[in-house]
Every structure is written in C-alpha cells, then in structure tokens.
Amino acid sequence: MSVPSNSRPQRLIVGISGASGAVYGVRLLELLRDTPIETHLVVSKSALITLAHETEMSWSQIKTLADVSYINQDIGAAIASGSFKTMGMIIAPCSIRSLSEIASGVTSTLLTRAADVVLKERRRLVLMVRETPLHRNHLRSMTELAELGAVIAPPVPAFYAKPTSLDDMIDHTVGRVLDMFDIELGVVRRWRERPERVATLDEVIDG
C-alpha cells in the first residue's frame, strides 16, 4: 500500500450521486477505510435510492465506511469551504445532473458545492461520469470541466487486465481513479508489470 506523503492534507472527499454504479463509491470507501486517509462522504438524495437498489445498503451502513459524513443539504459543512484543506474529491458515480451543475458554477447542494470548491482551490476533482449515450450538451459540460482542471474518468473496464469477476473490474477501475491521487492499494493489474507473453503483430496476422 502506498499513500501520499504527510506534507499534504490526508483528507479525501468522496461523493456519490444518483447515477447507476453506486458500487464504485462504496468500493472506494472500503479500500480507503484501512489507510491513513480521512474520508469525507456526501451522498445525494437520489443516490440513497440507487444505493438501496444496487447494493442493498442503507444510509446508516454507508456512513460507517467513511470517517466523516454529511447530509447533502448541509451547505455549511467543512467541505463547503476552501479553507478546509483536502487532497481533492472523487464523485463515484457522477450523474449528468451533477456534472452539469458543477460545470455551470451554480451549485445547490453540498455535493456540487464541494466539487466547485475543489475546482476553485485548484485541487484534484475526478468525475466518474456514468451515462451513455451522450449528446452535445453533455460533452460540452465535460469539456468545460476538463478545461477547469477536472478529470473526466468514466468507469470503463480494462479487459487487458483479464478480469475474472465483476469485483475485479470494479477494483481496477477504482484503483485507476486513486492513481490520480498517487494512492496505490494494489488493486490495479498494470500493463506489462508482470512478465507475460504478448503476441506480436506478425504473429497475430499469421494467425
């Protein structure tokens, strides 16, 4: 396990929006629970419904995975202020509604306010956007956020890692997001990290 040096605040905000894929947020919290990183959790109202449907976990159960948790209406929370230092924020998954609100800069909930604060303070914001297909306005919002410094990281499985289960795919995806914060928890199978035979182009053509 590898985490950033103590020269930076060891606090990471985890947001869960109402998009499908709530398991990504849950797994993030599970992986970070036994690290020195202090997790601050905020969940949208619609995410509570998605969590109950996709993971069968209640809000009281989800809260136990984080060091600190907030209700989405608490706009006076610590994470709503730039003076409260953090490593940044991951929204996993990130709905198009949350994405669009963050891109507009007009935030109405703690989830989107915290993301806006991370952007204005020039900290790392990673959005695991879970929507498809995408129309032009969706893509424009993503472009605007990318230009502001956010990382758009859709939860796309990496088949080169040869996953054997859904858990493998989730862990790899979450691990790659944690890479954005220099957090190494040993859940990513990295390309060519281990000695393995990879066919050459000539071999593939010759069949």
20 is in an annotated binding site: yes
> What is the DSSP-derived secondary structure letter of residue 37?
P
Q: Find out whether 44 is annotated in a ligand binding site.
A: yes
176 is in an annotated binding site: yes
Tokens for 3? Answer: 């985490």
The response to whether 96 counts as a known ligand-binding position is yes
The whole-angstrom separation of Cα 72 and Cα 41 is 10
> Rounded to whole angstroms, how far apart are CA atoms 150 and 125?
5
Q: Please check if 18 is assigned to a binding site.
A: yes
Query: Is 27 assigned a ligand-binding role in the annotation?
Result: no
Cα separation, 102 vs 44, whole angstroms:
14
Q: Is the peptide bond before 93 cis (omega within 30 degrees of 0)?
A: yes
Residues 6+ apart with CB under 8 A from 87: 4, 8, 9, 10, 11, 12, 37, 123, 124, 181
The tally of CA atoms less than 13 A away on the side-chain side of residue 59 is: 12
Token couple for 84: 């409260």
Task: Check the annotation: does 97 bind a ligand.
Answer: yes
**130 annotated binding-site participant:** yes
* Residue 17 labeled ligand binder: no
98 assigned binding-site residue:
yes
160 in a known ligand binding site: yes
Q: Which residues are annotated as a binding site for dimethylallyl phosphate?
A: 160, 176
Q: Which residues are annotated as a binding site for FMN?
A: 18-20, 44, 95-98, 130
Q: Which residues are annotated as a binding site?
A: 18-20, 44, 95-98, 130, 160, 176
